[in-house]
Chain A
């Protein structure tokens, strides 16, 4: 039972990180219809920029994540302007090639600035709490709580604020929204900025329990793609449900079956979901 509680919390923390990263990816897909293969490297850059503010500049942890999110939002906007915007009328393969190019570029930049060696980011949140016999570190509790708060704010932003609603409008009907005066160009920038900022929050939260390396985004990138395919490409609730489902499936399978099975479970779940519902759990935006 202790083991179950322990793994449940680990799974929820991991799910929170997956969600934050996956939402950005799914938003970009919803608005621009492109699979942003460079998303994992934005997450990696987010972690390094947080590290820079926390360790090199010395601002407090939460402020470091906030500042890094702002920096990454700017990088996200630039990425959209410089790389994807000029390709808006190009065939889809071009976006993918450009995204892979951006991925290598960001990795090389991180390696040039911070080196290829692992970095450790100490979080001021240390210690752990005992819940029903399981040792849960405060950092993991912070991850879960922050993820929930950020997801709540995001939902409010997209559903209630004018700028957020434009994102949803473009997702639903690009031509229609242009006709009522929504600029797809501005929404694309907003989406990229938002996605990069969310990935940064995820990275800033997870960095203290892991290590920073220029390749840290690679594994995550694969997982978040699995998540948004599982949840339905472009679907916000899909990314949230998919993120937690996948994280819990991963943790529980490796606990009760085997570690190797845990690594592969994401893909078993995807195959099953796609066999039953080929459009993913919450498909909607991809229909057109």
Chain B
């Protein structure tokens, strides 16, 4: 009788297949049913043009979850492990809504974070109907709390708060002409409108609108020289930090000496990495995370450098989402429930005061408005002086 021969290759393949199958089923089962895990959902751009932004937010949430697990999470007497489930939506609103529903239904996530206004608005359509989930909304667009959605938690300061103090600061020496060079995304256009109205209300002159799509323009020199041709005193601009830094550099190279009014998407700490920091002198924008001296700031900076990357600075995307993940988990503890999203939302006002100081990193929220906006009463903006020093100025936040 001829001995039965098994090709070694076939064995390996079979084993690999079985392993892969096991791994798949283990993942699917573990995340969904888990009686002892709390799943936090996240749908954001993890590939495509906005992938870095999406990754920053994911990192912030993950770092908070690691720290929470290390400290132990107990809800209603039971111990839990917190887990982050992320799905890629490539910045598309409809994909974000589908992802959110999937996270809420399949993975039993009571809280889903979405970092773009379009996706947030799409998810708001469904988070209080068939599937209930609390929406962690990371977008500074004030529209998202104007919808009256009861299960929304808006994380960053509204960009409405910035326009007035920014214009105040940059018109102190009688500057009267504003050049517009913002990004042409919907969000950028809202900002442009806001700053235009603010500027005009002081009797200032707003020059031609040279908004461009920061992602598709191959050479910024053209738009910059057009803007400079009208001799502006102040230029409004901003989009992702890196192209913003290149545009600022180009403007300085072409001899512009006035000031810059920066949209909140652009961050000083990131731009400093991309251009000679001197180019950024005489500009106003959001306060860099590293300049906060909250109890947990240094720990977060260290953890980020160690676990994520040393090459990029911690931005408010990382820091604010880090804080808010701690808030929602604390709210679960306060509410005594890991799945009742309405109860979790109701517990947030109390939870804010209860969050461990370790999670206070960059202007920890002091309140949540009835509309669902996390706010810090001592919000500050940063002005980089012509000498290259940072000054901080308090920002009044409008009533909601």
**Do residues B221 and A206 form an inter-chain contact, with CB atoms below 8 A?**
no
Q: Known contacts being A210-B219, A215-B48, A259-B226, is A117 close to B246, with CB within 8 Å?
A: no
B253 lies within 8 A of chain A by Cβ: yes
Additional pairs, 9, CB under 8 Å, beyond known A6-B225, A118-B243, A211-B246: A11-B222, A111-B47, A116-B51, A118-B52, A140-B219, A209-B246, A254-B226, A259-B212, A263-B212
**Do residues B225 and A10 form an inter-chain contact, with CB atoms below 8 A?**
yes
Q: Within the complex, which residue of A140, A214, A220 is in contact with B221, where a contact is CB–CB below 8 Å? A: A140
B229 lies within 8 A of chain A by Cβ: yes
**Do residues A117 and B219 form an inter-chain contact, with CB atoms below 8 A?**
no
The chain A residue with its CB closest to the CB of B216 is A219
Give the distance to chain B from A100, nearest Cβ to Cβ, in Å: 15
A108 lies within 8 A of chain B by Cβ: yes
- Contact flags (1/0) for A211-251 with B, using CB distance below 8 Å? 10111001110000000000000000000000000000001
Count of A interface residues, CB-CB < 8 Å: 38
Measured between beta carbons, the chain B residues less than 8 angstroms from A134 are 225
In Å, the complex CA distance between A115 and B311 comes to 12
Count of B interface residues, CB-CB < 8 Å: 34
Q: Known contacts being A135-B254, A209-B221, A218-B216, is A118 close to B240, with CB within 8 Å?
A: yes
The chain A residue with its CB closest to the CB of B212 is A259
Give the most central of A7, A108, A213, A263: most B CB within 10 Å: A213
**Do residues B229 and A3 form an inter-chain contact, with CB atoms below 8 A?**
yes
Give the most central of B49, B222, B253, B312: most A CB within 10 Å: B222
Measured between beta carbons, the chain B residues less than 8 angstroms from A10 are 219, 221-222, 225
**Do residues A120 and B274 form an inter-chain contact, with CB atoms below 8 A?**
yes
Measured between beta carbons, the chain A residues less than 8 angstroms from B210 are 254, 259
Give the distance to chain B from A273, nearest Cβ to Cβ, in Å: 22
B81 lies within 8 A of chain A by Cβ: no
Give the most central of B223, B226, B229: most A CB within 10 Å: B226
In Å, the complex CA distance between A271 and B306 comes to 55
Q: Within the complex, which residue of B51, B217, B242 is in contact with A120, where a contact is CB–CB below 8 Å? A: B242
Give the distance to chain A from B250, nearest Cβ to Cβ, in Å: 8
**Do residues A7 and B222 form an inter-chain contact, with CB atoms below 8 A?**
yes
Q: Known contacts being A209-B221, A259-B223, is A215 close to B215, with CB within 8 Å?
A: yes
Q: Known contacts being A108-B47, A116-B47, A255-B226, is A206 close to B218, with CB within 8 Å?
A: yes
Measured between beta carbons, the chain B residues less than 8 angstroms from A211 are 242-243, 246
In Å, the complex CA distance between A135 and B243 comes to 21
Q: Which residues of A contact B (CB under 8 A)?
A: 2-3, 6-7, 10-11, 13-14, 17, 108, 111, 115-118, 120, 128, 134-135, 137, 140, 206, 209-211, 213-215, 218-220, 251, 254-255, 258-260, 263
**Do residues A135 and B255 form an inter-chain contact, with CB atoms below 8 A?**
yes
**Do residues A7 and B225 form an inter-chain contact, with CB atoms below 8 A?**
yes
Give the most central of A211, A214, A255, A258: most B CB within 10 Å: A211
Give the distance to chain A from B128, nearest Cβ to Cβ, in Å: 33
Measured between beta carbons, the chain A residues less than 8 angstroms from B390 are none
Give the distance to chain A from B188, nearest Cβ to Cβ, in Å: 12
Measured between beta carbons, the chain A residues less than 8 angstroms from B47 are 108, 111, 116
**Do residues A259 and B211 form an inter-chain contact, with CB atoms below 8 A?**
yes
**Do residues B49 and A215 form an inter-chain contact, with CB atoms below 8 A?**
yes
Q: Known contacts being A7-B222, A137-B253, is A118 close to B51, with CB within 8 Å?
A: no
Q: Known contacts being A116-B51, A215-B49, is A210 close to B218, with CB within 8 Å?
A: yes
- Contact flags (1/0) for B213-241 with A, using CB distance below 8 Å? 10111111111011001000000000010
B190 lies within 8 A of chain A by Cβ: no
B208 lies within 8 A of chain A by Cβ: yes
Give the distance to chain B from A214, nearest Cβ to Cβ, in Å: 8
Jot down 23 A-B pairs with beta carbons below 8 A, ordered by A: A3-B225, A7-B225, A10-B222, A115-B52, A116-B48, A117-B52, A118-B274, A120-B274, A128-B253, A135-B254, A135-B255, A210-B219, A210-B246, A211-B243, A213-B49, A215-B215, A218-B49, A219-B216, A258-B209, A259-B209, A259-B210, A260-B211, A263-B212
Top 5 A-B pairs, shortest CB-CB distance: A116-B51, A219-B216, A118-B242, A117-B52, A215-B49
In Å, the complex CA distance between A11 and B52 comes to 31
In Å, the complex CA distance between A10 and B49 comes to 25
**Do residues B208 and A258 form an inter-chain contact, with CB atoms below 8 A?**
yes
Q: Known contacts being A120-B242, A255-B226, is A14 close to B216, with CB within 8 Å?
A: no
In Å, the complex CA distance between A207 and B274 comes to 14
B290 lies within 8 A of chain A by Cβ: no
**Do residues B312 and A117 form an inter-chain contact, with CB atoms below 8 A?**
yes
Q: Known contacts being A116-B47, A120-B274, A213-B49, is A254 close to B209, with CB within 8 Å?
A: no
Measured between beta carbons, the chain A residues less than 8 angstroms from B242 are 117-118, 120, 211
Give the distance to chain B from A137, nearest Cβ to Cβ, in Å: 7
B160 lies within 8 A of chain A by Cβ: no
B358 lies within 8 A of chain A by Cβ: no
The chain B residue with its CB closest to the CB of A215 is B49
**Do residues A219 and B253 form an inter-chain contact, with CB atoms below 8 A?**
no
In Å, the complex CA distance between A251 and B225 comes to 11
In Å, the complex CA distance between A11 and B225 comes to 12
Which chain B residues in 169-220 approach chain A with CB under 8 Å? 184, 208-213, 215-220
B55 lies within 8 A of chain A by Cβ: yes
In Å, the complex CA distance between A35 and B213 comes to 26
Q: Within the complex, which residue of B49, B222, B253, B312 is in contact with A254, where a contact is CB–CB below 8 Å? A: B222
- Contact flags (1/0) for B40-81 with A, using CB distance below 8 Å? 000000011101100100000000000000000000000000
Give the most central of B212, B216, B225, B274: most A CB within 10 Å: B225
**Do residues B219 and A206 form an inter-chain contact, with CB atoms below 8 A?**
yes
Q: Within the complex, which residue of A3, A135, A219 is in contact with B215, where a contact is CB–CB below 8 Å? A: A219
Measured between beta carbons, the chain A residues less than 8 angstroms from B51 are 111, 116-117, 214
Give the distance to chain A from B169, nearest Cβ to Cβ, in Å: 27
Give the distance to chain A from B117, nearest Cβ to Cβ, in Å: 20
Give the distance to chain A from B372, nearest Cβ to Cβ, in Å: 30
Give the distance to chain A from B270, nearest Cβ to Cβ, in Å: 9
Measured between beta carbons, the chain B residues less than 8 angstroms from A111 are 47, 51
Measured between beta carbons, the chain A residues less than 8 angstroms from B218 are 14, 17, 206, 210, 219-220
Measured between beta carbons, the chain A residues less than 8 angstroms from B223 are 254, 259
The chain A residue with its CB closest to the CB of B45 is A116
**Do residues A210 and B220 form an inter-chain contact, with CB atoms below 8 A?**
yes
